[in-house]
């Protein structure tokens, strides 16, 4: 019988089976699809890449919601003026019309909110509780538990124009590497380690 079995968390089963999967799918900040051979990749290697990147995705998603709330509360910029996209270890808000805001000031105001150590929790499928407020969120189960867990937050110092979508991109980052934004996704993808080293960032 030529049947396929789909196993979640195959990395836990692999040591007992002694054979690798035919296809490994890892979902974290990126989606990794691999057809392992005798030379790997091993399931644990894919797991380490995905698991390590997941914390950054959660930090970025929560920071995005805090930024969106700050835009609405303090600048009167509602969510219907932009749409979300993503970048490695960060987020992107794409505006059809470039807003006239000081990005240094916005960054400082977001950092002040993050420093309040606001609790973050699931409210329902379309909302989270952020501190004492219930706010809209498309990924309500995908957050850090407290804004104090978000480290190295920054905003790009200028809007980046995306000619493909004809939008002005507000870029939020969750790491110290703010240079070469035009090739950021490639740089992160090509420098990933597969050894299980959690200190690759």
Contacts of 3 (CB under 8 A, 6+ apart): none
CA distance 98 to 170: 9
Query: pLDDT tens track of the chain, all 201 residues?
Result: 677 778 888 999 999 998 899 999 998 777 889 999 999 999 999 999 888 888 888 999 999 999 999 999 999 999 999 999 988 889 999 999 999 999 999 999 999 999 999 999 999 999 999 999 999 998 888 899 999 999 999 999 999 999 999 999 999 999 877 777 776 776 666 655 433 343 444
Q: Is residue 107 part of a domain?
A: yes
Question: What are the start-end ranges of the E strands in 4-125?
Answer: 24-27, 31-34, 82-87, 90-95, 120-124
Contacts of 121 (CB under 8 A, 6+ apart): 128, 129, 143, 145
Q: Is residue 122 part of a domain?
A: yes
Q: What is the CATH number of the domain that holds 140?
A: 3.30.980.10
CA distance 119 to 179: 31
Of 139, 135, 1, 164, nearest in space to 67 by CA: 135
Q: Is residue 201 part of a domain?
A: no
For the record, the structure tokens of 4 come out as 């396929």
For the record, the structure tokens of 191 come out as 């420098």
pLDDT of residue 142: 86
pLDDT of residue 66: 97
- H or E element at residue 58: helix 43-75
Q: Is residue 103 part of a domain?
A: yes
Q: What SS3 class is residue 12?
A: helix
pLDDT of residue 49: 86
Q: Is residue 200 part of a domain?
A: no
Q: How does pLDDT run across 29-67, given as a tens digit for each residue?
A: 778 899 999 999 999 999 998 888 888 889 999 999 999
Q: Is residue 168 part of a domain?
A: yes
pLDDT of residue 195: 36
pLDDT of residue 140: 83
Find the domain containing 126 and state its range.
58-190
pTM greater than 0.85 = no
pLDDT of residue 23: 93
Structurally, the chain folds into a number of domains equal to 1
pLDDT of residue 145: 96
């Amino acid at each position: 019988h030529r049947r396929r079995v789909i196993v979640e968390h195959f990395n836990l089963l692999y040591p007992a089976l002694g054979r690798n999967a035919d296809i490994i799918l890892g979902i974290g900040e990126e989606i990794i699809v691999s057809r392992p051979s005798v030379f790997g990749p091993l399931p644990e290697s894919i797991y380490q890449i995905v698991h390590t990147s997941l914390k950054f995705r959660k930090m970025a998603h929560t920071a995005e919601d805090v930024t969106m709330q700050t835009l609405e509360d303090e600048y009167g910029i509602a969510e219907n003026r932009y749409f979300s996209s993503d970048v490695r270890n960060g987020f992107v808000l794409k505006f059809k019309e470039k807003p006239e805001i000081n990005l240094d000031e916005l960054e400082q105001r977001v950092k002040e909110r993050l420093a309040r150590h606001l609790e973050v929790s699931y409210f329902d499928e379309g909302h989270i509780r952020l501190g004492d407020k219930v706010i809209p969120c498309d990924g309500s189960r995908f957050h850090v538990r407290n804004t104090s867990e978000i480290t190295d937050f920054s905003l790009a110092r200028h809007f980046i124009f995306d000619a493909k979508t004809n939008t002005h991109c507000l870029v939020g980052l969750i790491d110290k590497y703010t240079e070469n934004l035009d090739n950021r996704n490639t740089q992160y993808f090509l420098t990933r380690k597969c050894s299980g080293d959690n200190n690759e960032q």
